[in-house]
Structure 1
Amino acid sequence: MGDKVETVARLAQWKIDNVGLSSYKKSEPFKVGIWNWYFSIVRNMFLYIHLFPEPSQVSKDYPPFARFIIRVSNAGSSSSFQISPVQEKLLRTRDDFFWPVDTSFVGRFIIDVEFLDLKICPRNGGETTCVWPSDGNVLSIASPRSSLRGLSRMLDDAIHADLTLVTADGTLGAHKAVLSASSPVFQSMFHHNLKEKESSTIHIEDMSLESCTAFISFLYGTIKQEDFRQHRLVLLGAAHKYDIGGLKDICEESLLEDLNTGNVLEMLNEAWFYQLHKLKKGCLVFLFEFGKIHDIKDEMNNFVQHADRELMLEMFQEVLSASNLV
């Protein structure tokens, strides 16, 4: 282990070798949000842990307002650790945050930070804005914007709609050409002599009208970011059912970006069910290589009782892999 900081989702972890009773160390920079960050430690009577953004034009013009938790533990020990209270700080310099830890940790130990929220605070005042999520992923497929207004009107006003979608609590007009171009499943429905072709009706009764509207809006390239986030798991299911790889990839990236201690087991279950390999790997690394499993022991015990046996085997293999790293 050295001074390199590993990151996954909103968690960063610094594994440190050979810290004596009096020393100073500073990590290599690591990227979370739009900033590069550093850990540093100073040790005398206490272990003082600092977290701060790299001095730069970005951190000067847009200093981060962070909500986070720091955890420090002995490397290789699941029971010897301390967790800070939840911190809410505007971080500009190294002096804006430090956490004094009364500990006898020596030799190898681990410091990690989990960002619960991270906002941009404009230097000249104004409202803070969250760095998560970025609008880029969802809207990148929908350009130029001027062409979208026409598609949005086609959908909203059902202009020349030739298809009716029947949801659990309402109906929605759409266009066969748009759905066929987006999904091989929809294309097959209209190409072959299936009932959907004859009736110009598709029953999607496993979705509400609201979530189906978000789904169809994605296919038209007009979905709003807040609608995407609200219906993200339903959209993932629809992407899987109708074989829409682009939507599935975007959902996976978004879920991985939002991974945290509170949702990691739910995300692992979704990743297993939909075979999202990147998200699954991120969850396993988060739990075992980064040691967050020790923070959710009760939830983990319940999860293990209901988890798929093959998933349990992968988790066991990840435990063995992680044990070789410490």
Structure 2
Amino acid sequence: MTESAYRVETTARLAQWRIDNLASCTYRKSDPFKIGNWNWHLSVEKNRVLYIKLYPEISNLTRDNPPIASFIIRVVCSAGDRKAFTHPEIKDKQLKSNEDFVWPIEVPLTGKFIIDVEFLDLKTASPNGGEPCSIWAEGLTQKQSNATALACLGRMLTQSIHTDIIINASNGSIGAHRAVLSARSPVFHSMFSHNLQEKELSTINISDMSIEACQALLCYIYGNIKHEEFLAHRLALLRAADKYDISDLKEACHESLLEDIDTKNVLERLQNAALYQLPKLKSSCMRYLVRFGKIYDIRDDFNAFLQCADRDQITDIFHEVLNTWKGF
């Protein structure tokens, strides 16, 4: 039997398996073929009844995220008048194993025939428990649109395309767009909606930020900040996010500051947690200092910190010590 006897021809959403001869009491399984994110198989088993199966190849992807398929499957006898048998449309059926779709055909088939599968849709379960998502409808168009829009926003900033506001940082200036700033920050929106200096002079003075940190802030707002740039200016970005009420940036800084607490930065981060009301950062710093005993590694710095700390911070540390001792 030739290798072509097992090969399935495919286009983006169509699969065809041509079978030249299927003797009685015979089982045949196709080579794998790719449709969507999965490799698939067709199989036929002929006894008194012809059984046709369609199923995804077993893999980690199939186990973790099995396809939810909508398709039309037909069998076309290629000899004579080309009789066709069509299964009723399958709608949103989850396929995990070779028993999930079995089509018994009781009409005897002889000679050459074609199994034709037209995939109407392929979905995966939503990770948050919502409606399944189409891999075709969800993906490409929206992703391409988002990527193009972000690239254009980035070029508006980097190439100063029709900028209409100047931001003066502590050591330099940069152009921006009041519409973009207003959309991302209610504070900026308020500045440009009332007859304030910023609106009249088309300038914003941010004297507590360097031009580099200001550039990072704008890159975040315009959607094209690099990870290294974000890390280098986290504290300045946190301060700006709090000042200009950019909640998603504040949360991004909060989550990032949780990831690399150490003896060199823990006291500064504890101070920032109190200043900007970051409860998870405060809790993590407390645990690091007390539960993990890092107070003893930075005793001199910690004593100096206590001299400047406010009453609430000292009380919180005292309670954390007491709660830790209770656990021993």
Identify the residue that residue 248 of structure 2 maps to in structure 1: 246
For residues 248 and 275 of structure 1, what CA distance do their matches in structure 2 show?
10
Identify the residue that residue 259 of structure 1 maps to in structure 2: 261
Find the residue that maps to 1:281 and give its secondary structure.
helix
Instruction: Please state how far the C-alpha of 1:317 moved relative to its aligned partner.
Output: 1.0
**More contact order relative to length (CA 8 Å, sep ≥ 6):** 1
Identity percentage over the alignment? 54
For residues 270 and 179 of structure 1, what CA distance do their matches in structure 2 show?
25
Identify the residue that residue 210 of structure 1 maps to in structure 2: 212
For residues 256 and 266 of structure 1, what CA distance do their matches in structure 2 show?
13
Instruction: Please state how far the C-alpha of 1:302 moved relative to its aligned partner.
Output: 1.4
TM-score by length of 1: 0.55
For residues 302 and 195 of structure 2, what CA distance do their matches in structure 1 show?
49
For residues 297 and 201 of structure 1, what CA distance do their matches in structure 2 show?
46
For residues 158 and 298 of structure 1, what CA distance do their matches in structure 2 show?
49
Of the two, which has the highest radius of gyration?
A: 2
For residues 274 and 236 of structure 1, what CA distance do their matches in structure 2 show?
8
Identify the residue that residue 191 of structure 2 maps to in structure 1: 189
Pick from 306, 309, 312 the counterpart of residue 308 of structure 2.
306
Q: How many residues align?
A: 186
Which runs of at least 4 in structure 1 moved beyond 3 Å after TM superposition?
none
TM-score by length of 2: 0.55
Identify the residue that residue 34 of structure 2 maps to in structure 1: none
Identify the residue that residue 279 of structure 2 maps to in structure 1: 277
1:272-310 CA-partner distances (Å, limit 9, x unpaired): 111111100110111112222222212211111111121
Tell me how large the CA RMSD over aligned residues is: 1.7
Instruction: Please state how far the C-alpha of 1:262 moved relative to its aligned partner.
Output: 2.3
1:220-256 CA-partner distances (Å, limit 9, x unpaired): 0111111111111100110111011111111011111
Instruction: Please state how far the C-alpha of 1:271 moved relative to its aligned partner.
Output: 0.9
Identify the residue that residue 228 of structure 2 maps to in structure 1: 226
Find the residue that maps to 1:253 and give its secondary structure.
helix
Find the residue that maps to 2:204 and give its secondary structure.
strand
Pick from 153, 167, 186 the counterpart of residue 151 of structure 1.
153
Q: Which amino acid aligns with 2:184?
A: S
1:92-130 CA-partner distances (Å, limit 9, x unpaired): xxxxxxxxxxxxxxxxxxxxxxxxxxxxxxxxxxxxxxx
Instruction: Please state how far the C-alpha of 1:157 moved relative to its aligned partner.
Output: 1.1
For residues 271 and 280 of structure 2, what CA distance do their matches in structure 1 show?
13
For residues 231 and 167 of structure 1, what CA distance do their matches in structure 2 show?
14
Identify the residue that residue 290 of structure 1 maps to in structure 2: 292
Pick from 198, 205, 209 the counterpart of residue 200 of structure 2.
198
Identify the residue that residue 106 of structure 1 maps to in structure 2: none
Identify the residue that residue 99 of structure 1 maps to in structure 2: none
Instruction: Please state how far the C-alpha of 1:316 moved relative to its aligned partner.
Output: 0.7
Pick from 162, 172, 175 the counterpart of residue 173 of structure 1.
175
